[in-house]
């Protein structure tokens, strides 16, 4: 909400839109009908319908703006944690471990011991704890990419290629926050193949962030809660 005008503003961070204030507005009827959903958290996932309009605004020159005229949330419900807490009482520890494994598409019968099961479940720590950083090195086909790309919409997987400081932390040109401020974790898959176009800048930002959860880009000071997950492939040498 814009305190000065009382208008609803929105942004699509992954698209770097809008580029200027008042370019992306929430239609009045959507604001009235979906206010609780739209403002339930700092970031809301859903299907949007957009409309471009040319408008003349009092005190400003005529300009085009994009209006959000419909919104359907991806998750129109809330998780009842008390239900799961009560359900937990119906299972012993070993049974509950198996349930957690099945919840992320693993077959408990495929593990030889509880130690193996718990090792697999430790992969889930970045999903539930703030700023947990892990490194996993394993052969291909062990489910690294699948787990961190398909289980939660609140995480982001980078699969090889190049990634910049602007993408990870803050984009000065677009004035938009990066991945660490918008997700629970950032997983860098096949880390050995990922390159950084500005290595010194990324190194400096990572140093501060991994220590305190804060980062500075230019004059911008940001805070994030995402953990870093580094996934690498082990190659068998014969």
Nearest by Cα to 208 from 189, 197, 223 = 223
Asked if 202 and 168 count as a contact pair (C-beta separation under 8 A), the reply is yes
Per-residue model confidence as pLDDT tens digits over 154-213: 899 998 888 999 999 998 887 888 999 989 999 999 888 898 988 888 888 899 899 999
> What sign results for the dihedral spanned by CA atoms 92, 79, 181, 178?
positive
DSSP-assigned beta bridge partners for residue 229: 134, 187
| CA gap 154, 43 in Å, rounded | 10
Distances (CA, A) of 169 to 34, 95, 166, 228: 30, 40, 5, 12
pLDDT at 85: 92
pLDDT of residue 69: 92
Domains, the chain, in order of start with CATH, read 8-73 (no CATH), 81-233 (3.40.50.300)
195-201 long-range contacts (CB < 8 A, ≥24 apart) are 195/161, 195/162, 196/162, 196/163, 196/164, 196/165, 197/162, 197/164, 198/164, 198/165, 201/165
Is there a contact between 55 and 62 (Cβ–Cβ < 8 Å)?
yes
Position 135 scores a pLDDT of 93
CA distances from 87 to 83, 84, 94 (A): 6, 5, 14
Residue 109 confidence (pLDDT): 94
Alpha carbon 225 to chain centroid, angstroms: 10
- Residue ranges, the chain, pLDDT below 70: 41-42, 56-62, 75-77, 237-238
């Amino acid at each position: 909400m814009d305190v000065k005008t009382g208008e609803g503003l929105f942004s699509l961070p992954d698209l770097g839109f809008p580029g200027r204030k008042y370019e992306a507005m929430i239609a009045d009827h959507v604001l009235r009908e979906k206010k609780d959903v739209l403002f339930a958290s700092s970031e809301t996932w859903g299907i949007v319908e957009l409309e471009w309009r040319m408008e003349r605004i009092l005190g400003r020159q005529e300009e085009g703006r994009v209006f959000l005229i419909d919104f359907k949330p991806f998750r129109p419900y809330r998780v009842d944690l008390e239900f799961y807490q009560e359900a937990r009482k119906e299972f012993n520890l070993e049974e509950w471990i198996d349930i957690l494994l099945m919840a992320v598409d693993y077959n408990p019968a495929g593990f030889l011991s509880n130690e193996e099961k718990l090792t697999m479940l430790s992969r889930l720590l970045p999903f539930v704890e703030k700023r947990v950083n892990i490194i996993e090195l394993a052969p291909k086909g062990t489910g690294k990419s699948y787990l961190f790309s398909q289980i939660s919409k609140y995480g982001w997987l980078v699969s090889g290629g190049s990634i910049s400081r602007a993408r990870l932390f803050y984009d000065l040109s677009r004035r938009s926050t990066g991945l660490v401020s918008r997700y629970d974790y950032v997983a860098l898959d096949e880390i050995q193949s990922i390159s950084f176009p500005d290595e010194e800048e990324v190194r400096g930002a990572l140093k501060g962030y991994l220590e305190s959860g804060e980062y500075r880009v230019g004059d911008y000071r940001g805070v994030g809660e995402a953990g870093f997950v580094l996934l690498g492939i082990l190659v068998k040498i014969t």
